[in-house]
Amino acid sequence: GWRNIFSGIAEECGVTLVFGTVDHPQEGGAYNILCAIDKEGVWSDTVYVKRHLVPFGEFVPMASLFETIVPPLADLIRAGGDFSPGEESHPFVLDGLGRFAPMICYDVIYPDASLSPVREGADYLLAASNNSWFTGETVMSMQKGQAMLRAIETGKPLMHDSNNGLTCLVDAQGRTLAELAPNEEGVLLFDLPPAGGTTVYDCVGELFPWLCLAVVAAGCVDLLLQIIANKRKGRKEQDA
């Protein structure tokens, strides 16, 4: 089958392959996944299932409600995508290369998509995307910008691969080291930069912004209490 074909390619070329495909398990459903095969043709036990699906591209929010209200829309809704999200993420251990945090497409928008595998010891970030349905370069640039932010906050170099351009290598400081422009046909070859270190964000995650929000909320409550206290004091002075 197709699994043997891919194993044969990896073994014949002596390279490690990481690629995306759609998994249709026997129990039903569909999953957008990333797989890895080593240079000896052996499949990795780690399979990444995309955690953050694109609304109306990979699933339809409240699909059952729409199907109930307007039954003729059922087939159209299912055609829009019926994928199930993954629940967790673990690094790919690629022989001789390091440990890679896998992401698919717009996973890069969400900090937890990279933070979870980085906390498990990932040395690099690896994002694969099918951007062929984008008609312009604006969305691609936005996606790259979000991916660069993931590299900066985790302190890990990023490899971003797309089938129609904006394939790039970004270092731990968010600087682009190598790149294929959108819709440019070619192969991007590069040496991996040193794996990044541990950042404050790796340690505390989303705790810092929540602490900032708590400080602001506490300040607002304190200000409100002062206003109320001053009004009561003013009324007492008037009554006196």
- Specify the higher pLDDT residue, 143 or 104: 104
Q: Which residues contact 80 (CB under 8 A, 6 or more apart)?
A: 56, 57, 59, 60
Residue 229 host element (H or E): helix 207-239
Q: What is the mean pLDDT of residues 23-30?
A: 84
* Residue 145 to residue 71: CA distance in whole angstroms: 40
What are the DSSP E strand ranges found in 97-157? 98-104, 124-129
pTM exceeds 0.75, yes or no: yes
In the numeric block, the tokens 């339809």 are attached to 60
Contact in structure between 101 and 49 (CB atoms under 8 Å): no
Name the band, by pLDDT with cuts 50, 70 and 90, for residue 230. confident
Mean pLDDT for the chain overall: 87
Q: What is the mean pLDDT of residues 117-124?
A: 94
- 171-175, 179-183, 230-234 — which is least confidently predicted? 230-234
pLDDT exceeds cutoff 80 at 76? no
Q: What is the mean pLDDT of residues 185-198?
A: 88
* Residue 160 to residue 113: CA distance in whole angstroms: 14
Name the band, by pLDDT with cuts 50, 70 and 90, for residue 107. very high
Max mean pLDDT among 4-8, 56-60, 227-231 falls in 4-8
Name the band, by pLDDT with cuts 50, 70 and 90, for residue 142. confident
Instruction: For residue 174, give the DSSP letter.
Output: S
Instruction: For residue 163, give the DSSP letter.
Output: T
Name the band, by pLDDT with cuts 50, 70 and 90, for residue 239. low
- Specify the higher pLDDT residue, 67 or 214: 214
Q: What is the pLDDT of residues 46-73, one digit of tens each?
A: 999 999 988 877 887 777 777 777 776 6
What is the per-residue pLDDT for 81? 62
